[in-house]
Amino acid sequence: CSVSCGPGLRSRSIFCVSESNQVVDDSFCAGLVRQVESESCNLTPCTITYTYEVQPFPE
């Protein structure tokens, strides 16, 4: 995933290949359903902790 928390994106490579497993031009795979190359991931929101920063009183 592209981020450690919060909404991100993950991607994968997709190639058109021949019977001998050689990468060929996408035009050879025309008419075939192409799988998705990317999708959303890590949809859980980031956990953020808040606190006060306290400065001393001036003298």
Report if residue 21 sits inside a domain: yes
Containing structural domain, residue 25: 8-41
Cβ proximity of 46 and 7 under 8 Å: no
Number of domains in the chain: 1
Cβ proximity of 38 and 11 under 8 Å: yes
| Token representation of residue 18 | 């021949």
Report if residue 52 sits inside a domain: no
| Token representation of residue 48 | 């953020």
| pLDDT tens digits in sequence order for the chain, 59 residues long | 999 888 999 999 999 999 999 999 999 999 999 999 999 998 888 888 899 999 999 98
Q: For residue 11, what pLDDT is reported?
A: 94
Cβ proximity of 4 and 41 under 8 Å: no
Q: For residue 28, what pLDDT is reported?
A: 95
Torsion of CA 15, 29, 31, 35, to 10 degrees: -10
Report if residue 57 sits inside a domain: no
Output DSSP code: residue 32: S
Q: What is the pTM of this model?
A: 0.55
